[in-house]
Amino acid sequence: MLKPKKVTSKLREVKKVEDEKIDVNYDQVKRYCYHQKVKYYKQNLKNTVADLRELLKTYTYNANINDEDMFILSQELDLSKFNVIFSSRALLVNAINQEHKVQSKSFNGFIPSFFHLDGTYKLVDSGFVTLVLGTENILHQFRPIAFAIVAHEDQAAYNKLLKEVKKFLQDNFNFNYSPKYALMDGARSSYNATVQVFGKDMKIILCWFHLLKAIRNHIYQLKDAADKKYLRENWPFVCYGLGLLAKTRTHNDFLDLWKIMKENWNDELQLPEDFLKYIETEYIKSNLIWNQSTFIGKSRSNNSLESFNNQLKMTYFEAKKFDLISFFRIAKSMVRDFSRDLTSFPKTIEVPLNDWRFALTYSKTATIIKSLKRNHFAFIKKSREEAKRNEREKYKFILSFKIKIF
């Protein structure tokens, strides 16, 4: 079953070849795919629900359950709002153990509570989505907390997952799960659910790669053909500027550098005013964090979770889709394996000598702006002639003079 974006792309290809009058509307395609998916659910899963209900009874939680055994936190088997959340005591404890102090010869720091949240497809043949909630250790190794199989990847599904995990930790471990950060791909559904469950003070870290993807999709969906073409031609320059912003280490540096970038994009590149407003509204003045102003040791991407999702697909499901009953039987062994990881959150780490030297050198720079200034002055001296020949280098050359006065 193709996703709406894939269908839209296919229709655009047909439009170019066959019929110039075809109006490809993404929202219309999305609604059509949704109704077709619901129809597919009812046709193929009607006879499965009774057997599934009996199977899930064997995964009922009780006080004597082993820490590594899978159990169901909540279930809703109505096909139109299907939602089954499952985990183990050992995996849920990851949410407790993740907040800890790390010590070593080269690093001493407190790792605050945070989680990663995302959905992955192609594990269940009926089109259901697998939601994954987890965290990572100081070595950026992903550690799952809970999973959910849902009919729709919407705010209600994410909200239910987060609430059930929070409630279970409170009821069974007397632990008030109040994470300080959440890293996600920027989808409104997961963002709104996170804020709704944990409050507006929750700091949302936006995955760097998903940020670039979202901005490129915005450019591709622009209705003004001239603006779309111009922005696509200047995408390397836009991407370079965003990369500079992502390197800032404080929020003040982030805002100050944006002033320089905005002036450069407006005066030198002459980017469309609507595009500048979009960037400023969605990614500068919002409470999304996508620079280095979080805490020591935190990655700025969802790579650990994406890698984990790939591990699920290739190792446990062998790149195949399974029916719901087969899925939960595989999930039982999958949860047990992840629950047996006894080295989830090392409290001591050994940093390689080369990494320590690099960190020491980097720390001598007071702010990221000074670092940028120094690097760009070096660039100016070495690459004057090359900058005249290469448009991208020319852009860096111009921007260097903007930064040097800061």
Which pLDDT does position 367 carry in this prediction?
45
Which pLDDT does position 338 carry in this prediction?
92
C-alpha 329/C-alpha 130 separation (Å) is: 15
Among residues 117, 116, 118, 122, which one has the least CA distance to residue 6? 122
Which pLDDT does position 397 carry in this prediction?
47
**Do both 90 and 220 map to the same domain?**
no
C-alpha 130/C-alpha 198 separation (Å) is: 22
Helix (H) or strand (E) holding 101: strand 100-103
Which pLDDT does position 401 carry in this prediction?
44
**Do both 171 and 199 map to the same domain?**
yes
**Do both 103 and 243 map to the same domain?**
no
19 lies in some domain? no
Which pLDDT does position 172 carry in this prediction?
93
Cα angle at 111 between 105 and 113, to 5 degrees?
165
Supply the DSSP symbol for 287: S
Q: How many CA atoms lie within 13 A of 35 on its CB side?
A: 5
SS3 370: helix
Which pLDDT does position 162 carry in this prediction?
96
**Do both 360 and 260 map to the same domain?**
yes
**How would you write the pLDDT of the chain (406 residues) with one tens digit per residue?**
556 566 666 666 665 544 454 555 666 776 677 667 666 665 666 657 888 888 999 999 988 899 999 999 999 988 778 899 999 999 999 998 887 555 554 455 567 788 999 999 888 877 789 999 998 887 778 899 999 999 888 999 999 999 999 999 999 999 999 998 888 887 889 999 999 999 888 888 888 888 898 899 999 888 889 999 999 888 888 888 888 888 888 888 888 889 888 888 888 888 999 999 999 999 998 888 888 877 655 666 777 888 888 888 888 888 888 888 889 999 999 999 999 876 666 655 555 666 656 666 655 544 444 444 444 444 434 444 444 455 455 455 445 544 443 3
Q: What phi and psi, each to the nearest 5 degrees, are found at residue 21?
A: -90, -5
SS3 112: coil
Which pLDDT does position 26 carry in this prediction?
63
C-alpha 117/C-alpha 195 separation (Å) is: 13
pTM of the shown model: 0.74
4 lies in some domain? no
Which pLDDT does position 34 carry in this prediction?
65
DSSP class per residue in 188-255: HHHHHHHHHHH-TTPEEEEPHHHHHHHHHHHHHT-S-HHHHHHHHHTHHHHHHHHHHHHT-SSHHHHH
222 lies in some domain? yes
Is 249 in contact with 298 (CB distance < 8 Å)? no
Specify the amino acid at residue 289: I
**Do both 59 and 178 map to the same domain?**
yes
**Domain coverage including residue 191:** 46-204+302-339
Which pLDDT does position 267 carry in this prediction?
84
34 lies in some domain? no
**Do both 119 and 252 map to the same domain?**
no
Q: How many CA atoms lie within 13 A of 231 on its CB side?
A: 22
The structure tokens listed for 47 are 């006879």
**Do both 155 and 178 map to the same domain?**
yes
Which pLDDT does position 22 carry in this prediction?
53
The structure tokens listed for 346 are 């090392």
**Do both 135 and 170 map to the same domain?**
yes
Cα angle at 116 between 72 and 354, to 5 degrees?
135
**Do both 228 and 334 map to the same domain?**
no
